Amino acid sequence: LEEKLIFEIGSTDTTGVDFAEAPKVASRLGSLARTDSIGMPGLSEQETVRHYTRLSRQNYAIDLGLFPLGSCTMKHNPRLNEKVARMPGFADIHPLQPQSTVQGALAVIHELAAWLVTLTGMHSVAMSPKAGAHGELCGLLAIRAALEARGDARSVILVPESAHGTNPATAAFCGYKVEDIPATPDGRVDLEALKARLGPDVAAVMITNPNTCGLFERDMKTISDAVHAAGAFVYCDGANFNAIVGRVRPGDLGVDAMHINLHKTFSTPHGGGGPGSGPVVLSQALTPFAPLPFVEKQGDKFVLVEEETVEDHHAQTFGRMVAFHGQMGMFTRALTYILSHGADGLRQVASDAVLNANYILRSLDDVLDAPFGAAGPCMHEALFSDKGLAEGFTTLDIAKGLIDEGFHPMTMYFPLVVHGAMLVEPTETESKAALDQFIMALRSLAERAKAGDEALKGAPYHAPRRRLDETLAARKPVLTWSEPDLAVAAE
């Protein structure tokens, strides 16, 4: 059954909420009272519950099965995290309450910050960025502030080819000139090309490690040393921290700034596109420039350092990135996850994530081309290409075919350095049985695509929708619903 839009089933006279009667008072709205119809449809509670329950059933989700989106780290979201985030002491406090009334909340931020700093071997952490891309912004702002503080304006940011799209976008958004660094044939940053490009105009290198080919940048320390020697900073995209948490500390590799997607490594739910949270760990060199606000422990009190309270002791801060203190609702979840796992569990997270990815790589590299497979193990994701598929068959066909097998597709056509890339990240929360089922499905699809099974090109057949016309959507954008034109309808 199709689910109509709320605009097609609701009415402006129906409501699913009751209120006490409003006091009779003289309005203070002056001439501004809104008298036009807003056109906002309402539904009773039952109709509302049904509408969204039915809609939800048209989604795929981790709660339904393996979600092998490379670089997105779709792992299990523990339900304890949800319960904790909803405790009234966390969910129902205002960001501007007097600090004496939010000591527990400040303690959570402080405790989570301590874990992140220790796990990464860095010096400090900026907690307020709202998501990974926002964290990148934070890192670049700190780097810029540090360069300015030494009177050293620089205009270029180097970004390897295999970087996440957000990296160059962020750098450009900050007014930097972006230059690419090529990859080596084994899928890593070309160290020599990088060294050759370093110079007094380069502010920073943005590098993803483990990188988007699912490989660890073996030369990371050498790169950092070279970058530092050239007076620039190393920004690390921490989207793939899941692969190394508890086993490798980025601080030991010379990183100056790295964002951590709490919704990837630390299991806060993706929610169909957010909210995320992107704290940024900083080296000692960048720490003085960290944004406001932040939490400090003074004696047995936690203090929120913001404009009112910053005084002299953090005068070099680059300022505020968001209205309040970041994603508290994600902090409580992430801290709950971290405490649940502990140091031993987090190390096991990385171990099992990498084990699962290598198991997939080796279970399929006989039927799918693994461009870097010969060179050794991968980290937390297995990369395949479309090489060897029959003429006219693409990565897209395999991806859509997975839907009919009951799985979400892998990441497609990313990273760009591999043709028809298929990037598979199983995560550590998948059982061997689930992996085996997925491997069997992907193997059968690979065989069909190599054999040229035409039926595959029509997939998916067993989903709420067949392939959707994205071109039409972009050519004639319909972004809001409007009442059908009755005159047209009557024709």
Partner 1 sequence: MRYLPLTDTDRQEMLSVIGAETIDDLFIDVPAEARLSGTIAGLPDHASELAVERHMGALARKNLSAGEAPFFLGAGAYKHHVPASVDHLIQRGEFLTAYTPYQPEIAQGTLQVLFEFQTQVARLLGVDVANASMYDGSTACWEAIGMARRITKRGKALLSSGLHPHYVSVANTMAKFTGDALVHQAPTLDAATDIDALIASIDKDTSCVVVQYPDILGRIADLTPLAEAAHAAGALLVAVVTEPVALGAIKAPGHMGADIVVGEGQSIGVGLQFGGPYLGLFGCKQKYVRQMPGRLCGETVDAAGKRGFVLTLSTREQHIRREKATSNICTNSGLCALAFSIHMTLLGEKGLRELATLNHGLAVQAADRLAKVPGVTLLNDGFFNEFTLVLTKDAREVVRNLADKGVLAGVSLGRLFPDAPAIGNGLVVAVTETVTPEDIETLAAALEEELA
Q: How far is the CB of 427 from a second copy (least distance, A)?
A: 10
H helices present in 267-405, as ranges? 328-364, 395-404
- The separation between CA 202 and the C-alpha centre of its own chain, rounded to angstroms, equals 27
| Binding flag, residue 61, partner 1 (CB under 8 A) | yes
Residue whose structure tokens are 């090309």? 193
Residue 201 binds which entry of partner 1, a second copy, none, CB below 5-8 Å type-dependent: none
Question: Phi/psi of residue 350, each to 5°?
Answer: -65, -45
Task: Assess contact for 207 and 237: CB atoms under 8 A.
Answer: yes
First to last CA, the chain: 27
Structure tokens at 195: 């060294």
| Binding flag, residue 473, partner 1 (CB under 8 A) | yes
Residue 391 binds which entry of a second copy, partner 1, none, CB below 5-8 Å type-dependent: none
Q: Which is nearer to a second copy, 179 or 404 (CB)?
A: 404
| Binding flag, residue 17, a second copy (CB under 8 A) | no
- Burial readout 77-116 (b: 16 or more C-beta within 10 A, e: otherwise): bbeebeebbeeeebeeeeeeeebeebeebbebbbbbbebb
Q: How far is the CB of 26 from a second copy (least distance, A)?
A: 29
| Binding flag, residue 1, a second copy (CB under 8 A) | yes
| Binding flag, residue 78, a second copy (CB under 8 A) | yes
Distance CA 68, CA 384 (A): 13
Residue 65 binds which entry of partner 1, a second copy, none, CB below 5-8 Å type-dependent: a second copy
Contacts of partner 1 in 213-242 (CB under 8 A): 215-216, 218, 220-221
Contacts of partner 1 in 125-154 (CB under 8 A): 130-134, 136-137, 140-141, 144
| Binding flag, residue 103, a second copy (CB under 8 A) | no
Q: Cα separations (Å) of 36 from 40, 43, 148, 296?
A: 11, 20, 52, 50
Name the nearest CA neighbour of 448 among 384, 382, 400, 383: 400
Task: Assess contact for 262 and 143: CB atoms under 8 A.
Answer: no
Name the nearest CA neighbour of 245 among 435, 361, 123, 118: 118
Residue 307 binds which entry of partner 1, a second copy, none, CB below 5-8 Å type-dependent: partner 1
Q: Which is nearer to a second copy, 64 or 473 (CB)?
A: 64
Distance CA 74, CA 427 (A): 7
Q: Which is nearer to partner 1, 270 or 448 (CB)?
A: 270
Q: How far is the CB of 437 from partner 1 (least distance, A)?
A: 13
Structure tokens at 315: 């005068």
Residue 151 binds which entry of partner 1, a second copy, none, CB below 5-8 Å type-dependent: none
Q: Cα separations (Å) of 213 from 161, 414, 415?
A: 11, 9, 6
Interface mask toward a second copy for 32-61; x: CB under 8 A: ------------xxxx-xx--xx--x----
Name the nearest CA neighbour of 232 among 274, 202, 257: 202
Contacts of partner 1 in 235-274 (CB under 8 A): 244, 246-249, 252-253, 261, 263, 267, 269-274
**Length of the chain counted residue by residue:** 491
Q: What angle do CA 355, 353, 394 make, to 5 degrees?
A: 90
Contacts of partner 1 in 15-34 (CB under 8 A): 15-34
Q: Is 459 helix (H, G, I), strand (E, B) or coil?
A: coil
Q: How far is the CB of 452 from partner 1 (least distance, A)?
A: 20
Residue 1 binds which entry of partner 1, a second copy, none, CB below 5-8 Å type-dependent: a second copy
| Binding flag, residue 193, partner 1 (CB under 8 A) | no
Interface mask toward partner 1 for 311-350; x: CB under 8 A: -------xxxxxxxxxxxxx-x--xx--xxxxxxx-xxx-
Contacts of a second copy in 172-231 (CB under 8 A): none
Q: How far is the CB of 203 from partner 1 (least distance, A)?
A: 11
Q: Is 308 helix (H, G, I), strand (E, B) or coil?
A: coil
Q: Which stretch binds a second copy (CB under 8 A): 76-84, 308-316, 368-376, 482-490?
A: 76-84
Interface mask toward a second copy for 330-369; x: CB under 8 A: ----------x-----------------------------
Q: How far is the CB of 400 from partner 1 (least distance, A)?
A: 7
Name the nearest CA neighbour of 337 among 80, 105, 72, 117: 80
Q: Which stretch binds partner 1 (CB under 8 A): 1-9, 194-202, 280-288, 386-394?
A: 1-9
Sheet holding 177-181, edge to edge: 124-126, 280-282, 257-259, 233-237, 202-208, 156-160, 177-181
**Chain positions contacting a second copy, by CB under 8 A:** 1, 9, 18, 44-47, 49-50, 53-54, 57, 62-65, 76, 78-79, 340, 406, 429-431, 433-434
